[in-house]
Structure 1
């Protein structure tokens, strides 16, 4: 496959790709580098955050959300990259020492955000994880926070079935992707194992295609796994990076696959890049935050 690095930027810990259809723009973050980035056409914009940032998601109101260690903030996209204007929307996790990780919006534009024990030092170094202190939370358009899960290790992958009845959600400490039924009261059923450990790395972020297959980035696995609706491996997509972190479908026809990645001990030339490739079927669109 002919992979392309979409920019010269190399992240220390690239994550959270989001394709904004109305603007035809790609949003992503460098968690360890404390950067929120946006690619529009050939222009890359970046905003330097005061804290580690795990997601950068546009809002229907015209600004964007950034998920920082101290809470979820609105970012004024007209503010300068070196002096971003931030306003607090909500604080989701009261547990000291936690930080946000995976975050995506559901079809209703509600933000779902998973948190974990902070494992990144001030200089971007990896810190050991010694407790399962993370949780999963849902944030409404008004900023109201609903706790959904607790006792999580490393939350990753947030994708929903086309009918909205099933959530696919990974805990990378378990090397497992689980499925949950969404109950009529808005809460989640008990988890069921959907895709257990696989020799090609651990489960990180994912995207879903129009056939209901999940494309899962494999940390330390140098690949994506395309997983069938029953959780079985349909295809292994080899990548020129050691630590792919997540993926999203974009472009005007949603047939361009974008993959974020992180730096690695292998120090490959594309580690930390955002990669793109054309694929044979479209994915499902991202949804902006409804607030």
Structure 2
């Protein structure tokens, strides 16, 4: 049985998301989308930083030039944690005013991939029904150039690249599928999408992490579990969790073998005490590293 740890026992997120492990300073970053907050936690010292914003925030990733790139409700912005100053960068999905940022990851070349969805969060954090598939997937280069790769997506989730750089993985929760693309790492071009995996009856496909063996660990929103898929897309194992809505995961820790898992308290009964907590498990398997934004 997998040992589930709760490294931050007192912290709960309404919609925890976007975990990022920064190897350069051994710090875990993540966000609370509904709570409009971002966090940085240094496990060795147990130091926790919290930053509050005026907009929904779905991602915080370090920049190679210092500071962070944030995916806010309707735009990307640079953030200086020392001054807490925000500087507008680009709005990749400005042609869809009904959308909000959702999934985001940086590829190994430092390009930021930004997925959106129809906004399902009201002004007071309440649920808003999703009525269409208006989400998009966009690549943002270091200079701010935006290239669109997908449209008509329900809920963008999971962005991963294989260790050899020849494959990209991207999913649509509403379509209940994760696709694999041929990927050209030099040009940042994804093509030839085909089905990688689809599982019925185990909640909604959410965010994922990849280990060094090419297996994908996928958070299953609403199903209280992770599913580990093998490189062919078959279910390898299911790990039960003490939260209803795990949202995403990332490998980190001194040996990159700790899997950190974010979760959401929103929409739950509150009867399970760890709803919205950050969880961790020791996998014994090293995971793929995160990458800073090159811009």
Unaligned runs of 5+ in 2: none
SS at match of 2:54: coil
CA distance in 1, matches of 2:256, 2:91: 33
Structure 1 residue runs of 4+, over 6 Å off? none
State how 1:234-245 maps to structure 2 within 5 Å: 234-245=236-247
Displacement of 1:198 after TM fit? 2.7
CA distance in 1, matches of 2:269, 2:176: 22
Is it true that 1:109 corresponds to 2:110 in the alignment?
yes
Conserved? CA contact 1:242–1:266, under 8 Å: no
| Residue of structure 2 equivalent to 1:77 | 81
Residue 266 of structure 1, aligned match among 249, 269, 273: 269
Name the count of aligned residue pairs: 287
Is it true that 1:58 corresponds to 2:42 in the alignment?
no
CA distance in 2, matches of 1:132, 1:138: 19
State how 1:89-238 maps to structure 2 within 5 Å: 89-94=89-94, 95-183=96-184, 186-238=188-240
Unaligned runs of 5+ in 1: none
Conserved? CA contact 1:156–1:171, under 8 Å: yes
Please list the CA deviations of residues 121-175 of structure 1 after superposition, one character each: whole Å capped at 9, or x if unmatched.
1111111111111110011111111111111110000001111111111100011
CA distance in 1, matches of 2:19, 2:205: 16
TM-score by length of 1: 0.96
TM-score by length of 2: 0.95
Q: What is the RMSD of the two structures over their aligned residues, measured on CA atoms?
A: 1.2
Displacement of 1:186 after TM fit? 3.7
Displacement of 1:185 after TM fit? 5.3
CA distance in 2, matches of 1:157, 1:181: 16
CA distance in 2, matches of 1:2, 1:149: 38
